[in-house]
């Protein structure tokens, strides 16, 4: 999932007819010198809770602006350090609403979420004040849904046409861009209309071949995850001390659960997929090595994956890299005996039974080499 920066989301809002404040994107303090009106400076990072963490500050003059810029530019937000800053006019408003389109995975349908209260603490709003309306992906934002939403937020009738238009625009944006989330929080109610004061848009990873302009490898807060993305390897760093490589997301998740049940904790999620390319296997091991595990567990269940060529990749990696941790491998599938023989010749524990392999892995992670 790719989270767009606020200014990118607002540019999309504007192109779809949703009103936004006038603003300017800057990189340094010298890029802004208009102090005729009150403005707000916002750190541009692909994560939430910027307001409560000091990433959104109002200012009225140059001195306040410089103070705010210097403070915000020194902060880190969930691992992201801002390099872009959005300066916008401060919009006078008397109400804040919450409006979002997302996926309701339980009902397998898009959902419209609305609340008569919006802002920085939307998570703290009681569920009774948030309405969820499921939509049919084939028919979209029907009139009765818009009527229900408008009634729920309790706006004056003078805002009806604009509110309906915003919902239509959000739906079109949601479907056009293959989004998982299109959120306006808050949607400001002013004397002159409705204005989106913030944007949050998340694009589905699997659709990026249609939206390559939104690829955001450079925004990953973790260097290893960024490196893995560039190599097109599914890697997520976790908190444990057991490095894990498995083939297939389902097997990887099941292995993480089994490790936990046995008393250990995985240090990463690395899905090798269906490849048995030895060079690819060696790349995966190099990634896990950089996360400094105490022990590495490689769990391969063969289908299209050949066990012996995976073993070749493992041997290549230990010969190329300075491996200081123990490696335990579970091989099951085509050419498994040939693969296990190759591993054993190179000093690597090889198992067929998953429970036995995990028991050895957790033992090594907790107590060190059992031999």
> What are the tens digits of pLDDT across the range 30-45?
999 989 999 999 999 9
| Helix H or strand E segment including 39 | strand 39-43
- Rounded distance between C-alpha atoms, residue 10 and residue 1, angstroms: 18
- Rounded distance between C-alpha atoms, residue 73 and residue 267, angstroms: 31
- Rounded distance between C-alpha atoms, residue 241 and residue 220, angstroms: 22
Q: Of 6, 183, 283, 336, which one is the catalytic site residue?
A: 183
- Rounded distance between C-alpha atoms, residue 267 and residue 175, angstroms: 36
Three-class SS state of 308: helix
Per-residue pLDDT of 77-92, as tens digits, reads 887 889 999 999 999 9
pTM above 0.85, yes or no: no
Annotation says 98 is catalytic: yes
User: What pLDDT, on the 0 to 100 scale, is given for residue 19?
Assistant: 98
| Helix H or strand E segment including 41 | strand 39-43
Joined tokens for residue 203: 């694009």
User: What pLDDT, on the 0 to 100 scale, is given for residue 276?
Assistant: 61
Annotation says 131 is catalytic: no
**CA distances to 249, 253, 280, 287 from 236, in Å:** 12, 12, 17, 11
CB atoms within 10 A of CB 71: 14
User: Going residue by residue through the chain (371 aa), what tens digit of pLDDT does each one get?
Assistant: 788 999 999 999 999 999 999 999 999 999 999 899 999 999 999 888 888 899 999 999 999 999 999 999 999 988 788 999 999 999 999 999 999 999 998 888 999 999 999 876 677 788 888 999 999 999 999 999 999 999 999 999 999 999 999 999 999 999 999 999 999 999 999 999 999 999 999 998 778 888 878 766 555 556 777 777 777 788 888 889 999 998 888 889 999 999 999 999 999 898 887 666 778 888 888 889 888 899 999 998 876 667 888 888 888 888 888 788 899 999 888 888 888 899 999 888 889 899 999 999 999 998 864 44
The DSSP secondary structure of 265-276, one letter per residue, reads -BSEEEE-TT--
Q: Which one, of 65, 11, 51, lies nearest residue 214 by Cα?
A: 11
- Rounded distance between C-alpha atoms, residue 87 and residue 23, angstroms: 5
CB 3 within 8 A of CB 46: yes
User: What pLDDT, on the 0 to 100 scale, is given for residue 371?
Assistant: 45
- Which domains does the chain carry? 22-89 (3.30.1490.20), 95-212 (3.30.470.20), 222-367 (3.40.50.261)
Q: Of 6, 98, 283, 360, which one is the catalytic site residue?
A: 98
- Rounded distance between C-alpha atoms, residue 365 and residue 177, angstroms: 44
The conformation of residue 266, written as its DSSP 8-state character, comes to: B
| Residue recorded with tokens 């896990």 | 288
User: What pLDDT, on the 0 to 100 scale, is given for residue 219?
Assistant: 52
The conformation of residue 158, written as its DSSP 8-state character, comes to: G
- Rounded distance between C-alpha atoms, residue 50 and residue 57, angstroms: 10
| Helix H or strand E segment including 235 | strand 234-237
Helix 160-176, helix 6-15: angle, nearest 10: 110
- Report, in angstroms and rounded to the nearest whole number, the Rg of the chain calculated over CA atoms: 26
Bridge partners of 207, per DSSP, are none
User: What pLDDT, on the 0 to 100 scale, is given for residue 370?
Assistant: 44
């Amino acid at each position: 999932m790719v989270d767009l920066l606020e200014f990118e989301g607002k540019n999309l809002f504007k192109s779809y007819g949703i009103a936004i404040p006038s603003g300017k994107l800057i990189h340094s303090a010298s890029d802004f010198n208009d102090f005729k009106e009150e403005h707000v400076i916002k750190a541009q990072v692909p994560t939430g809770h910027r307001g409560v963490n000091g990433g959104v500050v109002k200012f009225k003059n140059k001195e306040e602006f410089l103070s705010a810029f210097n403070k915000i530019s020194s902060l880190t937000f969930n691992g992201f350090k801002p390099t872009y800053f959005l300066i916008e006019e401060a919009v006078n408003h008397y109400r804040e609403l919450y409006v979002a389109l997302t996926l309701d995975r339980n009902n397998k349908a898009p959902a419209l979420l609305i609340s008569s209260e919006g802002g920085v603490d939307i998570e703290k709003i009681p569920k009774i004040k948030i309405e969820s309306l499921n939509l049919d992906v084939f028919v979209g934002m029907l009139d009765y849904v818009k009527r229900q939403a408008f009634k729920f937020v309790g706006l004056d009738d003078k805002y009806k046409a604009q509110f309906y238009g915003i919902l239509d625009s959000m739906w079109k944006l949601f479907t056009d861009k293959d989004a998982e989330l299109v959120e306006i929080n808050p949607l400001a109610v002013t004397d002159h209309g409705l204005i989106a004061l913030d944007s949050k848009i998340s694009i589905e990873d699997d659709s990026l071949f249609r939206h390559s302009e939104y690829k955001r490898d450079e925004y990953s807060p973790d260097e290893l995850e960024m490196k893995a993305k560039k190599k097109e390897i599914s890697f997520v760093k976790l908190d444990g001390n057991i490095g894990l490589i498995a083939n297939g997301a389902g097997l990887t998740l099941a292995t993480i659960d089994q490790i936990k049940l046995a008393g250990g904790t995985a240090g990463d999620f690395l899905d090798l997929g269906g490849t048995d390319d030895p060079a690819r296997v060696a790349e995966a091991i190099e990634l896990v090595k950089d996360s400094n595990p105490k022990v590495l567990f490689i769990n391969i269940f063969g289908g299209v994956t050949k066990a012996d060529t995976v073993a070749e990749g493992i041997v290549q990696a230990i010969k190329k890299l300075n491996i200081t941790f123990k490696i335990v491998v579970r091989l099951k599938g085509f050419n498994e005996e040939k693969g296990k023989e190759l591993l054993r010749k190179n000093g690597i524990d090889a198992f067929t039974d998953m429970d036995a392999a995990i028991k050895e892995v957790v033992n090594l992670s907790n107590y060190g080499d059992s031999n």
